Structure 1
Amino acid sequence: MDFFNCISLRTAQGLVADALSVSPTGVEEVDLIQALGRVVAEDISAGSDLPPFSRSTVDGYAVLSRDTFGAGEGVPVMLAVVGEVLMGQSAEYSVVPGQAVVIPTGGMLPAGADAVVMLEYTECSDNETLLVLKPVAPGENVVVKGEDIKAGTVFITAGSKLTAAEIGALAACGIAKVKVFGRLTVGVISTGDEVVAVDVVPVGGQVRDINSYTLGAMLAETDCQVRYYGIIKDNYEKLRQAIIKAVTETKLVLVSGGSSVGARDHTVRVIEELGQQRVMFHGLAVKPGKPTIFGMIGQVPVFGLPGHPVAAMTVCQSLVIPAVKKMHGLRTGKAGIQVLAKLTRNIASAPGRDDFLRVRLVWREGEYLAEPVLGKSGLISVMTQADGIVRISAESSGLYAGDVVNVEVMREA
């Protein structure tokens, strides 16, 4: 195959998606407390109405709304207080015209009542007489039975990643266990004679292993189980054995470094030998991240990522993470957090490749500004200073100061 016959990011994403298994890695049932961030394996419907009864959203008085029409501070409406609803208990009263019932926030709405007057807009001349100082409309300050979720309604669909809000909805519906897709096991291998462990003091031309930790952390954030296979020197046989072990034990493998075209870059050769010529591309028209490899060894996808940390993280975010989401069974269509921001300076870009610009977000005078964080792909500080990434498409020759850009947020600004 031709080395560095660069293809577009979109083409690469399509090749990766087509090569992946369409079925996620098994299904397991987990307790609700362990379900955060997991991907739901089947549609979930409510077994009963939520809420199961109509209830008040404020402290006040349950009334017939038509009794309050025309009420004001100068002309209050007088109602008879006939009882009180207690929290956690059924409403024993039935409200008829001219009556009101004391009700707390969350209390069950009595039969006959269709609204609640807030406590702040009432006065009591005695324990049995209520003066209403402001009218309420039908349904005001009330959540009716089934208004949140109707019984039988599918409220979480298969392929959704469970958020804290959805965990709350499941709890409200009495669902204590959830069927989710199994976690994806991913192997991470770092390569290079110059790479040493993080607890080693580098000497000469050595550098500490950054990529194992950054890539592993990115994968862990997507609910993967990460296995580390250490640092492999620039030796074909050692890399071959490491990759054989990784593809045997995991469902996806990342190799950082060794993806260029130098004499010591063995990743392509190993994939071709083990995968029987199934290297699908070597070279990506993106910056940073040009020397990227993708191939299949059996049913296991193997990515060869650049050794420079920023390039490795950029390709991981744009190419590997979408693959992981598909293998996890995650529904497509939900984008990450994105904000619009105004670029603060001109940025040139070479047509024919996608450029990924790191930016810092600054809130100023009611809008976000995107300040480019410039630096070479080997500088990890470029990523630590950035809040997000702006993609400059291959059709563009750059951006101008003042352009409104879409920023994919990597962390809270």
Structure 2
Amino acid sequence: MLDKKYLLPHDALKLILAQIVPGCLPVEIIPIEKAYGRVTAEDIISPEDLPGFERSTVDGFAVKASDTFGAKESSPSYLNVKGDIPMGAIPNFSLSKGETASIATGGMLPEGADAVVMIEHVNVISKDLIEVLKAVSPGENVIFRDEDAKKGEVVIKAGHRLKPQDIGALAGVGITAVKVFKQPVVSIILTGDEIIPHTEKVTPGKVRDVNSFTLAGLIYESGAIPLKMGIIKDEYNALKETAEKAYQLSDIVLITGGTSAGVKDLTAKVIDELGCPGVLFHGASIKPGKPVIGAACNGKPVFGLPGHPVAVYICFELFVKPVIHHMLAVTDKNFKKLIKAKISRSIHSQAGREDFIRVCLDSRDGEIWATPLLSKSGLIMSLVKAEGIVHIPSQLLGLSEGEEVLVEIID
């Protein structure tokens, strides 16, 4: 069932998301060494305190803070040195009133100590006696046993995409494996009689495959696994057979090309036959990317993406990436990298349509200027040269030269 109304992108996306259960992917347990970039399927709770003991943050002398109160250069406190604490060792003594022990950064405080005096604030009189030239308060220059993480505390929430620092923290509390969602498999089907593999020589009327490589990278970056299904001719039976195979092998199906109203444009028909409810929208009020198709076939998202490389990129960011994150139940806040700039020339836009303009950035007299790259969406190099995207909302008729805009930085 085809909805011929051109929807704004956020309304079109809602139709897809309403058909998909968040976190619908299977769960697996993997070692933390393989968990970089994966999405947690449950809250991760620390099994122990971190660091697990009181430790010094400086080189100096472990003390009872009360023994240093009032100490200053003109009136130092004198303390007896009871011993030395080697790195990685458990002190085999405790401190009584008036006693201290030398300690290195990271060393374990002995029983009875509650602070550390920096070496710079000490005069060593002998191996058995020091002068403290500056008072310290309880807890000063000390990390407490549960200051980094407490036993039983949720250290990483479900739906979080694991970063390198997260993996380091898990190792620090002794967690060796985590429960994560399986990465969704996203199949890529290229359609078009004119498309040839990138390894072949171009002849008149033919173009090399660009989109499968762009999409594969975007899929990887979004936390999924790309599955290339090859280049399919503009022929119904061939496309239907490949689409049905992709539907069985993957969690999301992407078909590029064949989405506009041409005679050979079969994508919408093939998608509609994959399952119910089928096509939810055919066309969105955006430029580039207007002919995009969005569908849900028995709960599985299927997209028909335009064949132009820039439109493929925009449609992936607007529709496919949010769907991947929805399926993974990602809860991380997705803040885009935005900067303010002035547009270098006026741009016309159509009311009721959202435009996405590629721009280059440069600095003039301390201000950032965004220069539009007004090339056709079929030119991949315009996306290569672009440093950002300017979004013109549907309620505007364009931008005036010198107007301040927000630029979404392209990584």
Aligned pairs (5 A) from 1:71-110: 71-110=71-110
CA deviation map 1:51-78 (0-9, x unaligned): 1111111111112234334444444433
- Please name the residue that 1:176 is paired with: 176
Once the 2 structures are TM-superposed, how far is the Cα of residue 286 of structure 1 from its aligned partner? 1.2
CA contact (8 A) 1:25 1:327 kept: yes
Q: In structure 2, how many angstroms separate the alpha carbons of the residues matched to 1:106 and 1:403?
A: 54
Amino acid at match of 2:179: K
CA deviation map 1:356-387 (0-9, x unaligned): 23344557888866554443211212222233
Once the 2 structures are TM-superposed, how far is the Cα of residue 166 of structure 1 from its aligned partner? 1.0
Q: In structure 2, how many angstroms separate the alpha carbons of the residues matched to 1:42 and 1:381?
A: 42
Once the 2 structures are TM-superposed, how far is the Cα of residue 277 of structure 1 from its aligned partner? 6.2
- Please name the residue that 1:342 is paired with: 341
- Please name the residue that 1:215 is paired with: 215
Aligned pairs (5 A) from 1:76-225: 76-225=76-225
Once the 2 structures are TM-superposed, how far is the Cα of residue 337 of structure 1 from its aligned partner? 4.4
CA contact (8 A) 1:341 1:370 kept: no
Q: In structure 1, how many angstroms separate the alpha carbons of the residues matched to 2:369 and 2:94?
A: 58
Once the 2 structures are TM-superposed, how far is the Cα of residue 81 of structure 1 from its aligned partner? 1.9
Amino acid at match of 1:286: I
CA contact (8 A) 2:3 2:280 kept: no
CA contact (8 A) 2:87 2:106 kept: yes
What value does the CA root-mean-square deviation take over the aligned residues?
A: 2.4
- Please name the residue that 2:376 is paired with: 376
Once the 2 structures are TM-superposed, how far is the Cα of residue 341 of structure 1 from its aligned partner? 2.6
CA contact (8 A) 1:4 1:284 kept: no
Query: Is 1:35 matched with 2:49?
Result: no
CA contact (8 A) 2:277 2:298 kept: no
Moved more, 385-394 or 180-189: 385-394
Query: So what's the TM-score if we normalise by structure 2?
Result: 0.92
Q: Secondary structure of 2:268's match?
A: helix
Q: In structure 2, how many angstroms separate the alpha carbons of the residues matched to 1:354 and 1:257?
A: 21
- Please name the residue that 1:242 is paired with: 242
Identity of aligned residues (%): 43
Q: How many residues align?
A: 410
Amino acid at match of 2:344: R
Q: In structure 2, how many angstroms separate the alpha carbons of the residues matched to 1:352 and 1:338?
A: 25
- Please name the residue that 2:267 is paired with: 267
Amino acid at match of 2:209: D
Q: Secondary structure of 2:389's match?
A: strand
Q: 1:389 to 1:57 in 2, by over 3 A?
A: farther
- Please name the residue that 2:318 is paired with: 318
CA contact (8 A) 2:61 2:119 kept: yes
Moved more, 92-101 or 108-117: 92-101
Q: In structure 1, how many angstroms separate the alpha carbons of the residues matched to 2:401 and 2:59?
A: 52
Q: Which runs of 5+ in 2 are unaligned?
A: none
Q: In structure 2, how many angstroms separate the alpha carbons of the residues matched to 1:278 and 1:212?
A: 24
Q: 1:264 to 1:160 in 2, by over 3 A?
A: same
Q: In structure 2, how many angstroms separate the alpha carbons of the residues matched to 1:6 and 1:337?
A: 26
Q: Which runs of 5+ in 1 are unaligned?
A: none
Q: 1:148 to 1:318 in 2, by over 3 A?
A: same
Amino acid at match of 1:271: I
Moved more, 295-304 or 255-264: 295-304
Moved more, 334-343 or 243-252: 334-343
Moved more, 358-367 or 241-250: 358-367
Q: In structure 1, how many angstroms separate the alpha carbons of the residues matched to 2:367 and 2:113?
A: 46
Q: Secondary structure of 2:18's match?
A: helix
Q: In structure 1, how many angstroms separate the alpha carbons of the residues matched to 2:399 and 2:62?
A: 59
CA contact (8 A) 2:339 2:408 kept: no
Q: 1:392 to 1:136 in 2, by over 3 A?
A: farther
Amino acid at match of 1:106: G
CA contact (8 A) 1:389 1:408 kept: yes
